[in-house]
């Protein structure tokens, strides 16, 4: 049984990863800003499994909130084995001359700085672990830049670079570090990107079968369940209908 810490567990990939870990009898610390969603995910896990669940409500953009939330963990929860840096998203879809500065800040502050703040506070709690593991959720947007993806792509390229940096700097601590790069997956991602426009969000996946959150949770669990001497450096996962951001087969 491992103690796992998952950011962005109030929906999408994070929620599915928490449920997957719980189904494999791991303890889960689920994080996010939406308290009501954290409570919903906690009760659903408790209904379906015997796993222990702890909720932590904080905004990864706020370094003091991150530090205080993680410092508030009591001794029972203070030894963490697995960190999943998943909180993040895209805000807006505009060419670089039309982008909104607030959207840019939001993406950089969440996808890059948030990931760093959480990692910095969780790392000291991983010292006792016999199977320490960090997952960073990147994106195919961190492998290929696409039109109007600009800042979002840049943040995900940064996640890729930071994953490599972590693997190097944490080498002697035997912490496994993996970046997961999903392609098109139907979660709340597009709803957030298009600021709540459900119609526009739905159209992103028109005519193809996108990935779903459980597909990504299965891949994360697969990596975690490999033997401790195996470090999967990265996984790039797309729907079968997507070869790259520009090659998509829609019916």
User: Which residues bind to ligand 8X3, rule: CB under 6 A?
Assistant: 139-141, 149, 183-184, 189, 245
Q: Is 104 in the site for ligand NDP (CB under 6 A)?
A: no
Nearest-CB residue for ligand 8X3: 139
- Per-residue binder mask for ligand NDP (CB under 6 A), 113-152, x = binder: -x----------------------x-x-------------
Q: What is the greatest pairwise CA distance in the chain? A: 54
Sole binder of ligand NDP in the list 5, 189, 194, 205 (CB under 6 A): 189
Q: How many residues are present in the chain?
A: 251
Distances (CA, A) of 189 to 15, 84, 118, 194, 200: 13, 17, 21, 9, 12
33 binds, among ligand NDP, ligand 8X3, none (CB under 5 to 8 A by kind): ligand NDP
The catalytic residues are 152
Pick the binder of ligand NDP from 184, 217, 220, 224 (CB under 6 A).
184
End-to-end alpha-carbon separation of the chain, Å? Answer: 44
**CA dist., res. 95 & res. 246, Å (int):** 16
In angstroms, rounded to a whole number, what is the distance separating the alpha carbons of residues 203 and 88? Answer: 21
Going by C-beta distance under 8 Å and a sequence separation of 6 or more, which residues neighbour residue 55? 29, 30, 31, 35, 38, 39, 42
Q: Which is nearer to ligand 8X3, 157 or 189 (CB)?
A: 189
Q: Does 56 help bind ligand NDP (rule: CB under 6 A)?
A: no
Q: Closer to ligand NDP by CB, 3 or 155: give it.
A: 155
Q: Does 33 bind ligand NDP (CB under 6 A)?
A: yes
Contact 172, 129 (CB under 8 A): no
Q: Give kind and range of the element (H or E) at residue 248.
A: strand 247-248
In sequence order, the β-bridge partners of residue 154 are none
- Among residues 131 and 164, whose Cβ is nearest to ligand NDP? 164
**Residues forming the site for ligand NDP (CB under 6 A):** 7-14, 32-34, 37, 59-61, 86-89, 110, 114, 137, 139, 182, 184-185, 187-189, 192
């Amino acid at each position: 049984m491992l103690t796992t810490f998952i950011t962005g567990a109030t929906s999408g990939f994070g929620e599915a990863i928490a449920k997957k870990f719980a189904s494999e009898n791991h303890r889960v610390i689920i994080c996010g800003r939406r308290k009501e969603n954290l409570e919903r995910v906690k009760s659903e896990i408790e209904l379906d499994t015997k796993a222990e669940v702890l909720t932590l409500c904080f905004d990864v953009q706020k370094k003091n909130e991150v530090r205080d939330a993680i410092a508030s963990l009591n001794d029972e929860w203070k030894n963490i084995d697995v960190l999943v840096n998943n909180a993040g998203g895209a805000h807006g879809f505009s060419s670089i001359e039309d982008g909104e500065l607030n959207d840019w800040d939001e993406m950089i502050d969440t996808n890059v700085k948030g990931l760093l703040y959480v990692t910095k506070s969780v790392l000291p709690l991983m010292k006792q672990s016999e199977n320490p593991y960090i997952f960073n959720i990147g994106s195919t947007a961190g492998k290929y830049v696409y039109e109007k993806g600009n800042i979002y792509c840049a943040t995900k390229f940064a996640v890729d670079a930071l994953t490599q940096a972590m693997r190097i700097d944490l080498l002697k601590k035997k912490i496994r570090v993996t970046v997961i790069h999903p392609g098109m997956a139907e979660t709340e991602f597009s709803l957030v990107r298009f600021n709540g426009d459900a119609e526009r969000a739905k159209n992103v996946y028109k005519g193809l079968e996108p990935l779903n959150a459980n597909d990504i949770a299965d891949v994360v669990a697969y990596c975690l369940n490999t033997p401790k001497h195996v470090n999967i450096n990265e996984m790039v996962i797309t729907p079968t209908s997507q070869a790259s951001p520009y090659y998509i087969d829609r019916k």
